[in-house]
Amino acid sequence: MSLANRRILLGVSGGIAAYKSCELVRRLRERGAEVRVVMTAGATHFVGVATFQALSGQPVRTSLWDEQAEAAMGHIELARWAERILVAPASADAIARLAHGHADDLLATLCLASAAPLYLAPAMNQQMWAHPAVQANLATLRARGVHVLGPAAGEQACGDVGSGRMLEPHELRDALAASFGDGALAGLDVVVSAGPTFEDIDPVRFIGNRSSGKMGFAVAQAAAEAGARVTLVAGPVSLPTPPGVAARVDVRSAAQMQAAVLDACARADIYVGAAAVGDYRPAEVAERKLKKQAGADLVLQLAENPDILASLSARPRHPFLVGFAAETHDVAAYARGKLARKGLDMIAANQVGGGLGFETADNALTLYWADGELELPRTGKAELARQLVAEVAARYKASRA
Ligand code: C5P
């Protein structure tokens, strides 16, 4: 997505992730954005002013009290110039100062003085990230409409492993690009379901399936990148919420997923059912752990689960419906059968097995709709999701034309 002529103010606060913000400036400029960088005093301990100056092609400001810079473009002018302010990395201190409305350095002052939407990309040690003080400050900022991008979980510069890694430069760029709302799904409400469902047998056992949720999460991210307001209904997975996704509802069983999807779809334009919903659940959930009866088989009675997609398509007013079909053989025939039987607008079919499908990084899909089909050859799930979303947008628009 283009950022041509978009004016981005990048605030860099003091954290080791500041080195990634150098790359971020390049990624933003590649897409045509004008970038002006403001560094806090702390940031200059990690990266030199000259680095950002060279990468942005603009003077870098570090102080509120620089008379020459104020004469060239005063801080109020700079605040008005910005269409978006992104603070990346946003340190725990920067977050606290913004939450409390400080105005004793240039970056904090600009955030107060600008009407531009504010985006934060937190980056800090996992223990700091988990601290209630940091979380309370973020809750305050979120309640004021500030957008928080990430952080991701993983290995940290300090050697810890956990939540607090700054999102990658391309993820931050894509979230900003999507915020301008000129993507293929701009202005549309999209609901995506993802992951497996778990059906409890007793307090310690359940029936589940091998869906990783990766494909559905990639679809949610791609839809957000395309400008949609995305609600992600996630089964039990431990994946982080993709950048740009507006709301996430975590559920466990098919019944909970159905309730969450029906609720979110009351105002949705498009629903993509990427979840692997269990077809059956134990007819009764035992209140106590079932005891082993030595020498005897255990018989579980299973009750049929509701079909979420079919229940949506039975509604007189329903969103554009996209289903998934994971098949081991006769893919085309089964997929077209489901398209008709469930009353769908489009179905994305993949062959399970041969190294593709659940838990894999790659996938391949064939899309079917009433009078057409399209093959999306094997590639990474993120890229595949983008291609799928582009096609969903085209079919959606054709259906409403
Ligand atoms: O019939 P099958 O489970 O193969 O269909 C898969 C598609 O139907 C997926 O899009 C899945 O999310 C959806 N589905 C559903 N409710 C169910 C079972 C599947 O919405 N109970």
111 is catalytic: no
Is the distance from the beta carbon of residue 309 to the nearest atom of ligand 1 less than 6 Å?
A: yes
| Nearest CA residue ID for atom 4, ligand 1 | 325
Closest CA to 315 of 274, 268, 283: 268
Closest CA to 37 of 18, 237, 346, 45: 18
Give how far Cα 185 sits from Cα of 203, 294, 397, Å.
42, 58, 9
Mean pLDDT throughout 311-322?
Answer: 96
Please count the other Cβ atoms lying within 10 Å of the Cβ belonging to residue 44. 16
Q: Which atom of ligand 1 is nearest to the CA of 324?
A: 10
Query: Phi-psi category of 355—alpha, beta or left, where left has phi over 0 and alpha has psi -120 to 50?
Result: left
Q: Which atom of ligand 1 is nearest to the CA of 309?
A: 20
Mean pLDDT throughout 277-286?
Answer: 96
Is the distance from the beta carbon of residue 273 to the nearest atom of ligand 1 less than 6 Å?
A: yes
pTM to 2 decimal places: 0.73
Q: How far apart are CA 221 and CA 386, in angstroms?
A: 9
> Domains plus CATH for the chain?
7-179 (3.40.50.1950), 189-285+299-400 (3.40.50.10300)
* Residues 340-393 pLDDT 10s: 999 999 999 988 876 666 667 788 999 999 999 999 999 888 889 999 999 999
pLDDT of the residue at 356: 65
* Residues 28-65 pLDDT 10s: 999 999 999 999 999 999 999 999 999 999 999 999 99
Is the distance from the beta carbon of residue 275 to the nearest atom of ligand 1 less than 6 Å?
A: yes
